[in-house]
Amino acid sequence: MNSPRDEINHLISGFWKTQAIYVVVRLGIPDLLAAGPQTAEQLASESDSHPRSLYRLMRALASSGVFSEDSEHRFALTPLSECLRSDSADSMAALAWMRGDWQYRAWGNLLHNVQTGETAFDQVFGESLFEFLRRDPENAAIFDQGMVGVHGRETEAMVRSFDFSSIHVLADIGGGNGSVLAALLTHYPMLKAILLDRSDVIDRAKINLAHAGVAERVQFFVGDFFESVPAGADAYLLRHVIHDWNDKQSRTILRNCRDAMPNDGRLLLAEFVLPDGPEPFRGKWFDLAMMTVTGGQERTGSEYCTLLNDCGFTVQRVVPTATELSLIDALKN
């Protein structure tokens, strides 16, 4: 058991590891090590970096189990760094990239955010996250992959916990690169889908869903959910979309979904539903991430009920999953 001083020291120094992992991912080190162990000199020549500095970085990460180091100072992948290979299943490389890059810069402005209520990202970058991603194709692609890194494990849990079999056409609004639809359409062979997202995201989703062999059951829409949402589905799913936005913006999105729905339409929000009490819950940290990066928020169950009531929905039930994710199942009034 660490002393309180040790424990707080560990928490205070968390950014060391964020940056160290970010740098090895940016240099492509986990991919270089896929062929087998290498010295820092060899890795430096392949990654165009400074050998001694890279050695010190690798040595520190090896001391935390991210790599291993042998007696001849050759570094190798461990189960942790296997997850950082760009070609690994459910790679965490993109998540390490976005946490260490623009999210790190935004969090550097957390003090200003807390003092003023202004979103840290907007203050640092002079524009909102989604405006930034629209102008920056490399970071936009990293963001899509990063969503799979951060939320990917929730997909299987969601498919297992909720019965989608009564749904004929499911609209995934802000569905990102299509990984949720790929899982659902594979699990439910009769299901058809609509996917709405921004233009560059839809281009990537088409490739991913074709790769999953389900693209012919998907209608793709490029659009803006603040303007409108496509009609034609009996259920509308929004996973980790409403948490990106404040209540006013969320009401616009939800009312656009309601307008698009048939009278017996169903709304499914997949979100981290915060507990009312002080118990530990990872979603409380995501709430801070939303505050800092998008200006959105995670919400409690009663906050979701109020928001949905305001927009003409009645919550039927909140279905937990084996992860922190819950599905809020609501009907159009």
Ligand X SMILES: C[S@@+](CC[C@H](N)C(=O)[O-])C[C@H]1O[C@@H](n2cnc3c(N)ncnc32)[C@H](O)[C@@H]1O
Please identify every residue annotated as catalytic.
243
Q: How far is the C-alpha of 67 from the C-alpha of 40, rounded, in Å?
A: 12
How many residues form the binding site for ligand X (CB under 6 A)? 18
- Specify the residue, 87 or 227, whose C-beta has the smaller distance to ligand X: 227
Are 268 and 184 in contact by the 8 Å Cβ rule? The answer is: no
Are 54 and 47 in contact by the 8 Å Cβ rule? The answer is: yes
Residues 187-206 within binding reach of ligand X (CB under 6 A): 196-198, 201
CB of 180 to ligand X, least distance (A): 6
Using rule CB under 6 A, residue 299 touches ligand X = no
Using rule CB under 6 A, residue 226 touches ligand X = yes
Q: DSSP readout, 28-82?
A: THHHHGGGS-EEHHHHHHHHT--HHHHHHHHHHHHHTTSEEE-TT-EEEE-HHHH
Are 42 and 36 in contact by the 8 Å Cβ rule? The answer is: no
Using rule CB under 6 A, residue 239 touches ligand X = yes
CB of 320 to ligand X, least distance (A): 17
Out of 147, 235, 274, 311, the residue judged to bind ligand X by CB under 6 A: 147
Angle at CA 217, nearest 5°, toward 267 and 179? 65
| CA neighbor of 219 nearest in space, from 238, 207, 228, 232 | 232
CB of 60 to ligand X, least distance (A): 32
Are 162 and 187 in contact by the 8 Å Cβ rule? The answer is: no
- Specify the residue, 31 or 154, whose C-beta has the smaller distance to ligand X: 154
Out of 30, 174, 283, 295, the residue judged to bind ligand X by CB under 6 A: 174
Out of 162, 221, 225, 313, the residue judged to bind ligand X by CB under 6 A: 225
Residues 85-114 within binding reach of ligand X (CB under 6 A): none
Q: How far is the C-alpha of 175 from the C-alpha of 144, rounded, in Å?
A: 10
Q: What is the dihedral of CA 227, 228, 229, 230, to 10 degrees?
A: -130
- Specify the residue, 32 or 201, whose C-beta has the smaller distance to ligand X: 201
Q: How far is the C-alpha of 112 from the C-alpha of 129, rounded, in Å?
A: 17
- Specify the residue, 243 or 266, whose C-beta has the smaller distance to ligand X: 243
CB of 326 to ligand X, least distance (A): 13
Residues that bind ligand X (CB under 6 A): 130, 147, 151, 174-176, 180, 196-198, 201, 224-226, 239-241, 244
